Amino acid sequence: MTEVMDTAGIEPGFANPVFDCQDTFRRILDAYAYVGRIQHLSSEVSAIGPLGPAAISICLTLADFDTPTWLDPASDQKSVRNFLGFHCGVPFTRGIEQSTFAVVTNPAMMPRLTHFSLGTELEPQRSTTVLIEVPSFTGGPAVRWSGPGIQHDIAMAIDGLPAWFWEEWQGNHELYPLGIDVLFACDRAVVALPRSISVEF
């Protein structure tokens, strides 16, 4: 039997869907083009459960009916499922390795990076893009990033990540062109970490 979505109480999405989606997409592209540079999103959306405004804007822009989405236990709430199901039409998956988009709002307890889909030699683009909600872009241990989109190298200090994250990220980078990509969201801002970026910690 098909589950009927309860649409009562679902928060609105973008006020101006076409303009807000285009603007958010451009800022996400800028985040990937200028790695490590914080991009501030201008769309006025509300937080939904543990997802802040930037994370919601990113979901509204990147997630759709062709994006199998995995939610971590902290974000796997009725309000989040109803919102993303109603506004984005996403198919939710319990199998993390089957996801092309994943939402993590409790990064300290997130799965190991190799548990996500890493893509294939023929279709590296089928890997998972992982959206991670973090408390701050400045409160964590300093890690140096280098690679495409970074003129020299930069120091980033993403807060709230598990102790193993950066070591596993370097392993993820070494799989290039396979591997996951990450978008860090905090309040109304986003920072991109593509698989092409190497780290020193």
Maximum CA pair distance of the chain? 56
- Residue keyed to tokens 């997630």: 63
pLDDT digits (tens, 9 = 90+) for 70-117: 999 999 999 999 999 999 999 999 999 999 999 999 999 999 999 999
pLDDT over 70 (residue 2): no
pLDDT over 70 (residue 6): no
Q: Write down how long the chain is.
A: 201
Please give the Cα distance from 27 to 167 (Å, whole number): 28
**Residue 4: C-alpha distances to residues 1, 7, 194 (Å):** 9, 9, 37
Average pLDDT over residues 158-175: 98
Please give the Cα distance from 13 to 40 (Å, whole number): 18
| 8 A C-beta contact, residue 159 and residue 139 | yes
Name the more confident of 90 and 151: 90
pLDDT of residue 12: 84
Of 99, 56, 50, 97, the residue nearest 73 (C-alpha) = 50
pLDDT of residue 1: 43
41-45, 93-97, 98-102, 165-169: segment of lowest average pLDDT: 41-45
pTM of the predicted model as reported, rounded to 2 decimal places:
0.94
For the chain, helix, strand, coil in percent to 5 are 30, 20, 50
Domains of the chain: 17-196 (3.40.50.11310)
Q: Which residues contact 42 (CB under 8 A, 6 or more apart)?
A: 20, 23, 27
Average pLDDT over residues 158-170: 98
Judge residue 193's burial from the number of C-beta atoms within 10 Å of its C-beta, 0-12 exposed, 13-18 middle, 19 or more buried.
buried
pLDDT over 90 (residue 140): yes
